[in-house]
């Protein structure tokens, strides 16, 4: 308010000084020159200063220099003297008007401030409304109206001086200002400009921002508290003596690392690895399993048993996974070992993830896996077409997703994915899905481990979900099943982006064993069919969509790239040609038998490749490598 008074007073004083310095350039009277050149000047100074303030000027001892009221002096004076007298009159009157305006603005501002601060003592809403609606000239509404009228009249004399014609604050705005007393000093400073109304912009409401900030602070656990919690768990584990105490501390540490994977670095910095390595050699099965789980959560990998990394990748393809099972049978027969004993890292997409979980995590025989595939496929893919079409329209899934989840819970179980790492014979495993809730659709890795400290994967992932949730998310094929929602994430079938996960498996393996070479990479497809029919020039919409989907889920492009990049005799791709095109939901017994027959014929024709892969997979680690692993393990325990 004081800034406005000073600016108005300064501008008027400057105008007065400029007017006092003007010299007449003609013998014509000044009044006539002013009337012709500037009507606003005449309106402002003649109408206001002559009509209202002549008595005040005379009372203050000022001479009456108006030529209209002194006719005798007017006859004796010439035109030059009249002009000088008019300018002298203006020079004397203007400072008085400026001083009066400053006094008025000062009094008005005091009234506004007083009315805004006294509103805090209002005890009821009825008294406040009565104070606002009163027509007392000292009220807030009258003060705001007068100050608006004063400022407008000095800058635009043509505006109406009527009180009703001026912009006035609404009654609701005044009630909000009077009835909402500030709570603290900071809010009192904000309440003052709000009371002035249209002269100043309304101050921003900081209460909502404060509430949001407090909510975020309440939900966010401080980094310092997490670090302190991690250090306390590690210290309690090292100081535990009894078997039960060690088991309890290990369970608490595993739960903490699952919930907060960012604490892996803090736990590793506390040198918990040697302690966990010693516990993993315990005779107690439960304690040994918990120690292995904690090591997996910390990104620890045991020394390899082969000269290099052995990787297994399984494509998606629905019931065509029977083709993959036939090849795995031939591989086990060739090597006399189970699948989980032949590989260090296993990665699968959709039905490939399901097959990897059954063979590597649960260590089921392949004959049992084949039975489960056929039984579950018949249960899952049998549905009335009318009901399925209705579900497809409403839920974007032809088949019942709830039934599929119940089957997974019954046959696969509800164990956490990371709990399978308690078995030291189980290889590292990951399942791939397509994360569609991200700003850009990307691959999501469900892991049985965490990356090592200081290592970041190119793909987001987690190990905190249950095994049936992992398979459900990885196999949520659009059009077949509904999307899978886990927490705040929405997942679709991993085959939308990467139906051949071999490249992802190589990337993840490099994070776990950065100093090892790839000894054998086996990639298994679910079969392919190439039609010999001529493609018509005019394609239907269904045909176009099918072509787009086949191109997006093509698996051979990744195969050709890896074939050129990986060393010779270390990469093997098995993807047989099928005699006809089989759909993902094929459940007819004769068609399933035909799939298996095509796979067996392909295996016999490529027996040389199968033999080469078996030889690479069964090679043992060289003695020099074994000694290097022992030295490294000794240095880590120091």
Q: Name which of 361, 512, 356 is nearest 422 in CA terms.
A: 361
CB 417 within 8 A of CB 424: no
Output phi, psi for 98, to 5 deg.
Answer: -65, -45
462 - beta bridge partners? 446
Q: Name which of 408, 423, 361, 334 is nearest 613 in CA terms.
A: 334
- Alpha-carbon distance 287 to 283, whole Å? 8
- Alpha-carbon distance 249 to 239, whole Å? 10
Q: Is 222 left (phi over 0), alpha (psi -120 to 50) or beta?
A: beta
Instruction: Determine which one of 116, 128, 350, 433 is catalytic.
Output: 350
User: 571: which 2 tokens?
Assistant: 């990469």
Sign of the alpha-carbon dihedral angle for 62, 64, 66, 67: negative
CB-CB neighbours of 288 under 10 Å: 17
Query: Nearest-5° angle of CA 525, CA 526, CA 530?
Result: 95
DSSP state string for 102-128 = HHHHHHHHHHHHHHHHHGGG--SHHHH
520 - beta bridge partners? 310
Report CA-CA distances (Å) from 63 to 13, 30, 71, 169, 334: 22, 20, 15, 44, 128
CB 525 within 8 A of CB 581: no
- Alpha-carbon distance 68 to 478, whole Å? 97
Is residue 350 flagged as an active site residue?
yes
- Alpha-carbon distance 147 to 580, whole Å? 90
User: 437: which 2 tokens?
Assistant: 């809730």
User: 6: which 2 tokens?
Assistant: 């000073």
Instruction: Determine which one of 315, 344, 493, 598 is catalytic.
Output: 493
Sign of the alpha-carbon dihedral angle for 147, 152, 155, 157: negative
- Active-site positions read 350, 493
């Amino acid at each position: 308010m004081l800034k406005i008074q000073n600016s108005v007073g300064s501008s008027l004083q400057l105008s007065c000084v400029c007017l006092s310095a003007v010299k007449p350039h003609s013998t014509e009277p000044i009044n006539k020159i002013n009337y012709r050149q500037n009507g606003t000047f005449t309106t402002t100074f003649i109408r206001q200063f002559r009509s209202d303030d002549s008595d005040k000027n005379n009372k203050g001892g000022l001479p009456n220099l108006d030529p209209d009221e002194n006719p005798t002096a007017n006859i004796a004076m010439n035109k030059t003297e009249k002009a000088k007298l008019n300018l002298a009159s203006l020079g004397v009157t203007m400072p008085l008007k400026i001083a009066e305006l400053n006094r008025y603005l000062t009094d008005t501002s005091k009234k506004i401030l007083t009315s805004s601060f006294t509103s805090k003592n209002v005890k009821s809403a009825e008294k406040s409304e009565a104070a606002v609606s009163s027509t007392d000239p000292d009220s807030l509404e009258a003060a705001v109206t007068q100050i608006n009228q004063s400022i407008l009249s000095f800058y635009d004399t043509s505006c109406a001086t009527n009180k009703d014609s001026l912009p006035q604050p609404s009654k609701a705005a005044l009630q909000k200002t009077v009835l909402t007393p500030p709570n603290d000093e900071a809010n009192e400073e904000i309440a003052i400009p709000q009371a002035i109304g249209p002269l100043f912009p309304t101050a921003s409401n900081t209460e909502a921002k404060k509430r949001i900030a407090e909510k975020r602070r309440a939900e966010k656990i401080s980094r310092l508290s997490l670090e302190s919690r991690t250090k306390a768990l590690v210290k309690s584990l090292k100081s535990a003596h009894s078997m039960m105490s060690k088991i309890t501390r290990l369970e608490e540490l595993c739960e903490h690392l699952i919930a907060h994977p960012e604490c892996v670095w803090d736990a590793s910095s506390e040198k918990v690895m040697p302690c966990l390595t010693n516990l993993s050699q315990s005779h107690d099965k439960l304690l040994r399993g918990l120690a292995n789980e904690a090591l997996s959560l910390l990104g620890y990998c045991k020394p390899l048993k082969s000269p290099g990394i052995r990787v297994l990748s399984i494509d998606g393809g629905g019931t065509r996974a029977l083709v993959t099972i036939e090849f795995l049978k031939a591989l086990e027969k060739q090597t006399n070992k189970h699948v989980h004993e032949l590989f260090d890292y296993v990665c699968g997409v959709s039905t490939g993830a399901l097959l990897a979980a059954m063979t590597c995590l649960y260590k089921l025989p392949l004959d049992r896996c084949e039975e489960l595939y056929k039984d579950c496929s018949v249960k899952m893919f049998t549905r009335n077409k009318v009901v399925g079409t209705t579900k497809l329209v409403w839920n974007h899934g032809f088949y019942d997703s709830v039934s599929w989840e119940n089957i997974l819970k019954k046959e696969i179980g509800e164990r956490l994915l990371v709990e399978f790492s308690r078995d030291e014979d189980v290889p590292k495993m990951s399942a791939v899905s397509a994360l569609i809730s991200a700003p850009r659709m990307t691959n999501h890795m469900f892991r049985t481990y965490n990356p090592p400290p200081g290592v970041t994967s190119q793909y987001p992932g987690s190990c905190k979900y249950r095994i049936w949730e992992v398979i459900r998310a990885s196999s949520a094929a659009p059009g077949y099943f509904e999307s899978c929602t886990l927490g705040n994430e929405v997942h679709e079938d991993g085959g939308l982006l990467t139906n051949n996960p071999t490249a992802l498996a190589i990337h993840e393996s490099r994070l776990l064993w950065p100093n090892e070479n790839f000894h054998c990479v086996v990639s298994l497809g679910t079969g392919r069919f190439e039609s010999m029919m001529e493609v018509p020039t005019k394609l239907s919409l269904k045909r176009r969509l099918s072509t787009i989907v086949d191109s997006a889920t093509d698996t051979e492009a990744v195969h050709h790239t890896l074939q050129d990049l990986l060393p010779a005799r270390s990469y093997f791709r098995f993807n047989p040609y099928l005699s006809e095109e089989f759909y993902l939901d094929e459940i007819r017994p004769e068609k399933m038998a035909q799939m298996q027959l095509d796979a067996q014929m392909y295996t016999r024709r490529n027996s040389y490749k199968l033999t080469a892969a078996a030889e690479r997979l069964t090679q043992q680690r060289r003695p020099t490598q074994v000694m290097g692993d022992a030295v490294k393990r000794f240095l880590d325990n120091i």
